[in-house]
Structure 1
Amino acid sequence: MPELCTDRLLLRRWRESDLEPWAAMNADPDVREHLGELLTRGQSDAAVALMQAEFDDRGFGWWALEARETGEFIGRAGLDKVDEDMPFAGVDIGWRLMRSAWGHGYATEAALACLAFGFEALGLSEIVASTTVNNLRSQAVMRRIGMTRDPADDFEDPSVPEGPLRQCVLYRIPSGKPTGYTTQRDTPRADV
């Protein structure tokens, strides 16, 4: 599993020590506001096992996100194959951060590293991102990393029951579009 390193972040393989803070994130109503039900510890642990297995199988997926200065686990970021039941296809970019990590630009920094990996290492021609209509914070990150939205692409998520989380927006970015991504070169990286 390649690691990605930015000025402030390390995107790395999951560790046993990540399980407790990851579970706490998934039990936080603010973090889960646009994601649905809170998860139990067992569900959170199972999600990490699945993310690791998918990364090992495909060569890309969800990295654990660590603040380099403190070594603290602060969330996840990565790329995922779009589910087959969605009304669009491709590779999706995403992030989820602990509430204490919000407002520091970490999501944008991690997303830019993921874009670079997707375009440079994986050779993707396009990366998409989706979220609920009301998740304005994530939509702001999507715009900051150079993604654009066509309202004609908005959709209802078939995996979500009727309600406010079902209505979603879709953002896209083609390869070759400048993102302004820069990294430190002091840590070995697989993406460049």
Structure 2
Amino acid sequence: MTEIRTPRLLLRRWTDDDLVPMAEINADPEVMRWIGDGSVRDLEETAEDIERWEEEWDDEGFGLFAVELLGSGELIGFAGLSVPEFLPELAHEVEIGWRLARPFWGQGYASEAAHAALEFALQDRGLDRVVAITHISNSASEKVIHKLGMTPEREAEHPVFGVPLRVYAIDLTEYQG
């Protein structure tokens, strides 16, 4: 089983016990405002998400990690890698992403988890390049992206929801570990 420990977090594969807490995170409109069209997701949709994330692990050898606090074991969200199939021109890339419950914002957890996921991508999985895609107005995610050393590459539009997106990238030669 693939696990990564950071000073405060455990990044790991998903378990059945993660469904309800992840569904609670996905039900928060403030958490979801920058995801797709901003709609919240219910328990059934979250179960489908987790199943798809686990299938990506099996198919690609990477995926979105469940992120828990080391001290308490509490699930606080996810961070990891996925193929951004929602954006056809980037469907050949690997995207880094994260989503945390609101009580855990502003404490460095997203940056800590994202750094671990990026290192996993470039050093463990041998990827040469990783992208990040964010809504142009999502300044909190852009701060994390900049901390990762990623640079803006171009702008795009979500093909379904029409929202403006910014694509960032980093390749192995730029990575500072």
TM-score range relative to shorter protein: over 0.9
- The answer on whether the counterparts of 1:112 and 1:179 sit within 8 Å (CA) in structure 2 is no
Matches within 5 A, 1:109-120: 109-120=112-123
Partner of residue 27, structure 1? 27
Aligned-residue offset at 1:85: 4.4
Q: CA deviation at 1:179?
A: 3.5
Q: Among 77, 81, 84, which residue is 2:83 paired with? A: 81
Bigger fraction of residues in helix:
2
Greater RCO (CA < 8 Å, at least 6 residues apart): 1
Consecutive unaligned residues of structure 1, counting only runs of 5 or more, are 181-192
Gaps of 5+ in 2: none
Provide closer, same or farther for how the CA distance between residues 107 and 125 of structure 1 changes in structure 2, counting only shifts above 3 A: same
TM-score normalized with structure 1 length: 0.86
- Equivalent residue runs for 1:1-192 within 5 Å: 1-35=1-35, 36-83=38-85, 85-88=87-90, 89-150=92-153, 153-158=154-159, 160-162=160-162, 166-180=163-177
Percent identity reads 40
The Cα of 1:176 is off from its aligned counterpart by 3.2
Using the size of structure 2 for normalisation, the TM-score is 0.93
Aligned length: 174
CA, structure 1 residues 42+84, in 2 after alignment: closer, same or farther (shift >3 Å)?
A: closer
Per-residue CA deviation, residues 157-186 of structure 1 (Å, 9 max, x unaligned), is 11x323xxx110011111133444xxxxxx
Instruction: Say what the alpha-carbon RMSD is for the aligned residues.
Output: 1.4
Rg larger for: 1
Task: Report the CA distance between 1:46 and its aligned residue.
Answer: 1.0
User: Runs ≥4 in structure 1, deviation > 3 angstroms?
Assistant: none
